[in-house]
Structure 1
Amino acid sequence: MGLSTATTSVSEAIQLCVFDSRRGQQEGQELDKILFFYPADLPFTKQLYIIGLSEGLITFTRTFSPEAACEVIEAEKHSHVFFEAEQDIWMILVVEKNKELEAIWRMDALQKLLKEIHSLFLMFHGSIRLLLEKEPTGEASRSHLYSFITDYLNACQKRSALDRCCCDFLVGKKLQLPSFVDCLKERGTVQMLTIGRDAAIEVQALVRTLDSCIGNASCHSLILFQDLLVSTTLSPDDTTNLSSYAVLRLTPRVLSSGTSSWSYLIRGNAASHVAQHGGNVGNRVIRPLQHGKWSKGKDGFLETDIWGMGASGWVGSTPKICLFQTEEQMYLYVYQNKSLTLILLVPVSSVPNEELGIAIVRQHILENASLKIVKVEETLSKGWGGENAYHVGGYRYLLVDGDSQVSRASPPGKVTTLAKESLLAMSKLREKVDLEKSRAKQDSVDEEKELEVTIRAKNNAWAISRITRGKELYMVLEKANETLLYASDMVEKFSNRYCNGAFSLD
């Protein structure tokens, strides 16, 4: 029997904060440490208590492990998840435990949530430390962080449970974190569209045409069909960040949802909180994660007023992002044709006149690439089998390639048919695997660790994990034979048929 929506509801006390341990060292200035805090209406004494406790735990654990930063502390009533986003700038997630609901959260998934927030923030706003150095009062940093993180958490109220964006966690006034029902997902990866040889040739021809539209400038492109990645010329980190943003705010599914652009948390107490720390939410703050702020123009290019006016007073200034690998500032162009989303990144340094230069680039794309875009769209549409195209009958699975940061998983609709006991078993199994991977990392093991773990769930389902040569397979088998040999045979068949034997034991 499938898992009902009520089962996934999580309402335990949760705090999420960002603080700078270098600040607020003098008595009476402790509030200077706080750069972001959720919930914003929590009394400052409580906020300072949580941050003080976190600093104490960080200092204590460094006594035993000076090189490795503290990641997770399990207390009797709470779990504390740590991420040192930048030197001495910490993101902390404190989650209250609920014994009745067993293993609700996987700590590695929660830490990856913090990492994704920071990675996306870097892409749009740059380093938090650099913002603090430019404006030592912290006003700009707080304004940007409060707007950005609350928009990141803000929910699509009109979306169904199966169609929610992967990063929308606010439902009403409740914060829902990635839980055991998400155990067959992997944050920080992209899902690729498998295409044939002829389609691949057409895509490569389109990529070359896009390069020629920019002249001598070194540009990058990323192409998605539906929410799946088709092509990229970016590094894995930049591909992941830009794909995550596209799936959140740019793809046709998001644009057609008609969601509200108003962020719940930035009102009321949150605004007051920023002001009391020296921030001013009335300042012009770019909010790239606001819902409903992108729309498709008549020429096929997506437009937004998030970035305000250009230097010449031109409304709808083209967005800029910062690449993770090179730290280069790039203009962001987005063109859409039905289910195809094309993202082009052009160096800011190569476009001296923003308004004129951007118009020229767009015109070149329309004149030279539009026919190829339509052709690629038609080819991919003919071979598209819908969201269940990659579903393998009888299996519920997750494949992860850590080197390329690519994953493939069973469609969400298929995963929801699994029983709660099956998902809890898989979540516990992944906790065990996370622990083994963390130990291997701390031990600086040079060789790729191979690992196989199998768990029998309370409902007699099998939860299976195999790791080899940087690739990971997680699988749930329900209504399977009771013998371990049967479960192992099922994995072998899956590996040989769909993974080129990557996870076979031979």
Structure 2
Amino acid sequence: MAQKQPSKLSLRNFFVYNVNYGDTEGKEEEKILFFHPRETNIDVQMREVGLSEAIVKFTENFDEAPCDALHSQKTRKLFLQPEKDFWMIMTLNVPYGPKSTEVMEGSDYLGHEVETDVYRSVLTQAYSTARLFVGPFQAVLDSQNGDTALLVKKLDHFFKRYLLGLRLRDCDILTVFDGIQFLPLDKTTFLRCQCFVNLVEASFPLVAHSVLIYNNSLVWSGLNPDDAKVVFRYVSSNLLPSHLKANYLAHRTTSNNSPRIARFVTGPDCLIDLVYSDKTPKVYLGNVTQPSFFHLIVYKVVDLVLCLFVPSKETLKLELYRQLDAFLHTRMTELDVEINSYRKTVNDPPEAPDTRWVYFNTTNLATKDMLRDKKKGPQSDALVRALVKLHQNHVRLMKEGNSSSETYLRTSTDHWIIGRMSNFRQFYILIEKKKLSLHEVDDAVKKLSETQLRGIFFPT
């Protein structure tokens, strides 16, 4: 019998269904709102949905909390009920390979390499991003008097692109945090940024909310943190990279590409034509005074990016974009220079070559890390998984009412993992240097806390 070839973690299927549909015999497929892979036979789709419904109902007999994961030898199935009667299911193929990298003990399914919390966060982010563009699923159904056709179309349009960009093997504890990277500034520079945003909103009354980003770090946000993290993740991870790639290709194919147009990441193709193609997307903000859709205008000058949210009921005319371009360009150029000048005066603390760390503030979702630093080389998957387990322990302690904790772990590979929690702030450290005593590790942790998180993290 041929030995099964090694494989990596991969997406087996992903689907969305509503339990209130498909009750009539012969029309069971009506409850399926989206299914990936799209070419899957309808009988297989119905079988997967039926199995998921059965698992959810079975687990209700044992716990009031809804089922969130099912572990099997070959797969890991994640469950999410994002809205009443709606379920999102993601099934992963568990990687297959050698049991040990040190001793050849044959091959097996490596379920221990799949951290459930990490991929539950992946599923949660999939919903929050879909909601950003589709809106609440139930609201779409209500707008169509219960007809699912429009929701099916919207979900298909969104997920067929979104799922292509999933990098499951790159997910780690930062995926669990789903936080925001803030840009540290001095008071004067930050006040300058805040005054600029206030001036924009005062000069353009149509603008309801604003977000200012510099070099993939958040400078200022007028949104609730839950909305801000979704917008920030989309703009920094999807929109800006796509825009830069498109501009690069445009410059290679033609020398007439106007930098003036390139400054609008979302907006018109041209500021001159009377008839223009507007590429401004509409996004849903659910944590504002009146939850609704907004036009998302994104304007970029060098490293500074301004996101403007205009109520969707407003008609965006070409003259508005012209006025924005005339108003923003010079001011944002000057502000970019000011921020860049300040950043050059800041001396980053020296980094220990064998140390990685990550900080997370639960209250404002702020993250700071040196976990994926390419200069330090590839990170150890086993150590990163250990970080997730340590975080799970901190979450459990917080639920039990413990706001402070400190844990030192020494792994079988002679590495150290340290976790500190205080006042909803968490700090995790990986020390990859071997043969260190507990005293040496404690000194390294104190030094790192002092240099990296001075004024932020207060150990007990």
Of 110, 118, 133, 1:124 maps to: 133
Instruction: Choose which of 285, 308, 319 in structure 1 pairs with 2:281.
Output: 319
- Deviation track 1:392-441 (CA, whole Å, cap 9, x = no partner) reads 33321111112111211116343862553xx3133134135326625854
Find the counterpart in structure 2 of residue 404 from structure 1. 364
SS of residue paired to 1:17: strand
Instruction: Report the AA paired with residue 412 of structure 1.
Output: R
- Indicate which of 420, 427, 440 corresponds to 2:385: 427
Q: Does 1:222 align with 2:211?
A: yes
Letter in 1 for 2:430: V
Contact 2:419/2:429 (8 A) holds in 1: yes
Distance change >3 Å, CA 51–CA 435, structure 1 → 2: farther
Instruction: Please name the residue that 1:189 is paired with.
Output: 179
Q: Distance in 2 between matches of 1:152 and 1:390?
A: 37
- Residue in 1 that maps onto 2:34: 36
- SS at the partner of 1:114? helix
Is 1:56 matched with 2:54? yes
Corresponding position: 1:71 with 2:71: no
After superposition, the Cα gap between the structure-2 partners of 1:259 and 1:453, relative to the gap in structure 1 and judged at 3 Å, is farther
User: Does residue 177 of the first structure (1) align with residue 168 of the second (2)?
Assistant: yes
Q: Using a 3 Å threshold, how does the CA distance of structure 1 residues 305 and 210 change in structure 2: closer, same or farther?
A: closer
Paired position in structure 1 for 2:438: 484
Aligned to 1:301: 264
Distance 2:202 2:279 in 1: 24
Match of 1:172 in 2: none
Separation in structure 2 between the aligned mates of residue 372 and residue 260 of structure 1, nearest angstrom: 25
1:194 deviation in Å?
1.2
In structure 1, the partner of 2:189 is 199
Matched letter for residue 386 of structure 2: K
Question: By how many angstroms is 1:148 displaced?
Answer: 0.7
Equivalent residue, structure 2, for 1:144: 154
1:31-430 maps to which residues of 2 (within 5 A)?
31-66=29-64, 68-98=65-95, 100=97, 101=110, 103-135=112-144, 136-154=146-164, 168-169=165-166, 176-178=167-169, 182-183=172-173, 186=176, 188-215=178-205, 219-251=208-240, 253-258=241-246, 297-298=260-261, 300-303=263-266, 315-316=277-278, 318-326=280-288, 327-349=291-313, 351=314, 354-356=315-317, 359-360=319-320, 362-384=321-343, 392-394=351-353, 395-410=355-370, 412-414=372-374, 417-418=377-378, 420=380, 423-430=381-388
Deviation at 1:239, TM superposition (A): 0.8
**Contact 2:210-2:222 within 8 A present in 1 as well:** yes
Q: When the two structures are aligned, how many residues end up with a matched partner? A: 426
* Runs of 5+ consecutive residues of structure 1 not aligned to the other structure: 1-7, 155-167, 170-175, 262-294, 307-311
Q: Which amino acid aligns with 2:133?
A: F
Shift of 1:299: 7.7
What SS does structure 2 have at the residue aligned with 1:465? strand
SS at match of 1:342: strand
Q: 1:363 to 1:390 in 2, by over 3 A?
A: farther
Q: Which amino acid aligns with 2:90?
A: L
SS at match of 1:130: helix
C-alpha displacement of 1:496: 2.7
Q: Distance in 1 between matches of 2:31 and 2:198?
A: 48
Q: Structure 2: which amino acid aligns with 1:203?
A: C
Task: Give unpaired runs (5+ residues) of structure 2.
Answer: 1-5, 98-109, 250-257
Structure 1 range deviating more: 41-50 or 388-397? 388-397
Contact 2:118 2:175 in 1 (8 A): no
SS in 2 for 1:393: coil
Q: Following the alignment from structure 2 to structure 1, what is the Cα–Cα distance between the partners of residues 303 and 456?
A: 32
Query: Superposition RMSD on alpha carbons, in Å?
Result: 3.2
Q: Do the aligned residues in 2 keep the contact of 1:186 with 1:407 (CA within 8 Å)?
A: no
For the structure 1 residues 148 and 419, does the alpha-carbon distance in structure 2 shift closer, same or farther, using more than 3 Å as the test? Answer: closer
Residue matched to 1:158:
none
Which structure's relative contact order is higher, taking Cα pairs within 8 Å and 6+ residues apart?
A: 1
Change (3 A) 1:347 1:134: closer
Which moves more between the two structures, 449-458 or 473-482? 449-458
Cα 1:412–1:52 shift into 2, 3 Å: same
Contact between 1:426 and 1:464, CA under 8 Å: does it hold in 2? Answer: no
Alignment-mate amino acid for residue 199 of structure 1: T
2:17 aligned residue: 19
Question: Within 2, Cα distance between the matches of 1:195 and 1:406?
Answer: 14
Give the whole-Å Cα distance in 2 for the aligned partners of 1:40 and 1:438: 39
Instruction: Using structure 2 for the length normalisation, give the TM-score.
Output: 0.82
The one-letter code matched in structure 1 to 2:362 is: G
Once the two structures are superposed, residues 132-172 of structure 1 have per-residue CA deviations (whole angstroms, 9 ceiling, x without a partner) of 23344422212211221121122xxxxxxxxxxxxx22xxx
Deviation at 1:485, TM superposition (A): 3.2
Task: Measure, in 1, the Cα distance between the counterparts of 2:147 and 2:277.
Answer: 30
Change (3 A) 1:316 1:13: closer
Instruction: Report matched runs for 1:422-461 at 5 Å.
Output: 423-434=381-392, 437=395, 441=399, 445=400, 447-461=401-415
For normalisation by structure 1, the TM-score amounts to 0.75
Q: Distance in 2 between matches of 1:486 and 1:9?
A: 40
Which whole-Å CA distance do the structure 1 matches of 2:280 and 2:350 have between them?
A: 39
Measured against aligned partners, the alpha-carbon deviations of 1:432-480 in whole angstroms (never above 9, x if no partner) come to: 5326625854xxx4x3533333332343111222222111222211114
What SS does the corresponding residue of 2:13 show, helix, strand or coil?
strand
Aligned to 1:486, the other structure's residue is in SS state helix
Give % identity. Answer: 21
Q: Structure 1 residue 390: deviation in Å?
A: 7.7
Q: What is the alpha-carbon distance in structure 1 between the residues aligned to residue 54 and residue 386 of structure 2?
A: 29
Aligned to 1:162: none
Using the alignment, how far apart are the partners of 2:139 and 2:411 within structure 1? 49
